[in-house]
Structure 1
Amino acid sequence: MNVTTSLIENSINKSFTYENYRKHVSALLADGLSTGNTQSEDLTHYSTLNETRMNRLDKTIHVPDEIKEKLGKLKKQHTLLVISEGWCGDAAQIVPVMNKLVAESDKLDLKIVLRDENDELMNDYLTNGARSIPKLVLVESDTLVARGSWGPRPHDAAQLIIDDKAKHGVVTPQAKEDLQRWYLHDKGISTMEEITLLLENAENM
């Protein structure tokens, strides 16, 4: 077993199911804490907002029939190994969508690890040198070989932030509001489509 598959195995062994991830974040919030190495009122506030957001998405996200049809054609077993944190706004918008996607196929499994507790894995999946989350590592379940990665945002959402930063030098409060509106309007469709394409490509490897 090479270092990468060993790392993936270790990461999966200490991962959360979606249900247990939600319970872990909620239990910390009950004590006034957030996940991660850093604690602050802001991070706890974001975590509280995200919990409300995820509760809503759990009830409202639906997988379109065309996506269900594609998932129904999967032949291999795949694990969606996701790096997340409870305070991350993008993760709150995306991880519930992944959970809905996984529920539609017996070929898929969702495992969630916390970024700050998994430095080695995170450092293997940086985005332009940054520890951006959520990050999905698509793993072939039988071999534990990574077959691709995705994140931290769907393409159009990522472009919105890239364009704003290019224009202003920083990500503006307005761009953050625009991003939340984008997620609300998109209803998880872009995330589902992009991850389904990743899965289809992995099937052909």
Structure 2
Amino acid sequence: MKSTVAKALFNSYSYAEYRKLVTDLLSEGKSTGSQQSESLTNYSKLNEARMNRLEKTITISEVAISKLRHLDNHYIWLVISEGWCGDAAQILPILNKMAHESDKKIDLRIVLRDENDELMNQYLTNNGRAIPKVIVICKEAGIVRADWGPRPKGATELMETHKREVGPIDEKIKTDLQLWYLADKGISVQSELVEIMENIKYNRL
């Protein structure tokens, strides 16, 4: 396992620990990350409400559950995130439920982007530090097998269309993106991650 990944894992949070960290910081009027601002704190508050809702409403498909439980090996999903990230708030509750339903085949761990520069720089998206980023690690082999993120394909296409036709990210596209996630109900995240895990299963080194 690369030393950068191993170091990040050593300092990673469980899902419950991550949620508590974000909540505790909000109680102090802060957000995660190296920069602090009123807008980032407000985004974190909004994201906490979203995650609370998703934890109650998201369901994992029987197909996804079956495939995850029949993986040949055990894996770690190491996720790079921050509490203020809207995409992370939509995706992490899904990953957590998938890990929970996997019969211990998946162990979900989370690290903060701004505390893991070296790791983040290894998993850039179009040279940008976009999050969340899921790094798939095979426990038995101790190697990284794949990565995914920062968004499902449909959400990525929505953002790319906006940038091409309108320009910089604005409040409208942020709202449109959240509506996309609401309509998708976590289906895309599940199908894309399951496909990655299936490809690893049938194309082992």
| Superposition TM-score tier, normalisation by shorter sequence | over 0.9
Task: Report the more deviating stretch, 20-29 or 163-172.
Answer: 163-172
The letter of the residue matching 1:170 is P
Deviation at 1:177, TM superposition (A): 1.2
Does the aligned pair in 2 maintain the 1:164–1:172 contact within 8 Å? no
Q: Distance in 1 between matches of 2:110 and 2:43?
A: 19
Name segments (4+ residues, structure 1) moved above 4 Å: none
**What is the TM-score with the length of structure 2 in the denominator?**
0.96
1:60-82 superposed Cα distances (whole Å, 9 cap, x missing partner): 10001111121122111110000
- 1:13 alignment partner in structure 2: 10
Q: Distance in 1 between matches of 2:175 and 2:26?
A: 24
2:34 to 34, 37, 43: 37
Task: Report the more deviating stretch, 175-184 or 38-47.
Answer: 175-184
Deviation at 1:172, TM superposition (A): 3.2
Does the aligned pair in 2 maintain the 1:9–1:144 contact within 8 Å? no
1:75-110 superposed Cα distances (whole Å, 9 cap, x missing partner): 111100000000000000001100000001111100
1:125 to 117, 123, 126: 123
SS in 2 for 1:37: coil
The letter of the residue matching 1:137 is I
Q: Distance in 1 between matches of 2:84 and 2:168?
A: 20
Q: Distance in 1 between matches of 2:69 and 2:14?
A: 22
1:89 to 50, 75, 86: 86
1:104-139 superposed Cα distances (whole Å, 9 cap, x missing partner): 111110000000000000000000000000000111
| Structure 1 residue 57 corresponds to structure 2 residue 80 | no
The letter of the residue matching 2:125 is T
- 1:102 alignment partner in structure 2: 99
Gap runs ≥5 in structure 2: none
Q: Distance in 2 between matches of 1:20 and 1:171?
A: 31
The percent identity for this pair of structures is 50
Gap runs ≥5 in structure 1: none
**What is the TM-score with the length of structure 1 in the denominator?**
0.96
Q: Distance in 1 between matches of 2:137 and 2:25?
A: 29
Q: CA RMSD in A?
A: 0.9
Q: Distance in 2 between matches of 1:87 and 1:130?
A: 17
Deviation at 1:49, TM superposition (A): 0.4
Q: Distance in 2 between matches of 1:61 and 1:23?
A: 20
Q: Distance in 1 between matches of 2:140 and 2:29?
A: 40
The letter of the residue matching 1:35 is T
| Structure 1 residue 76 corresponds to structure 2 residue 73 | yes
1:4-35 superposed Cα distances (whole Å, 9 cap, x missing partner): 62211111110000000000000000000000
- 1:151 alignment partner in structure 2: 149
Q: Distance in 2 between matches of 1:46 and 1:148?
A: 29
Q: Distance in 2 between matches of 1:176 and 1:43?
A: 14
| Structure 1 residue 199 corresponds to structure 2 residue 197 | yes
SS in 2 for 1:83: strand
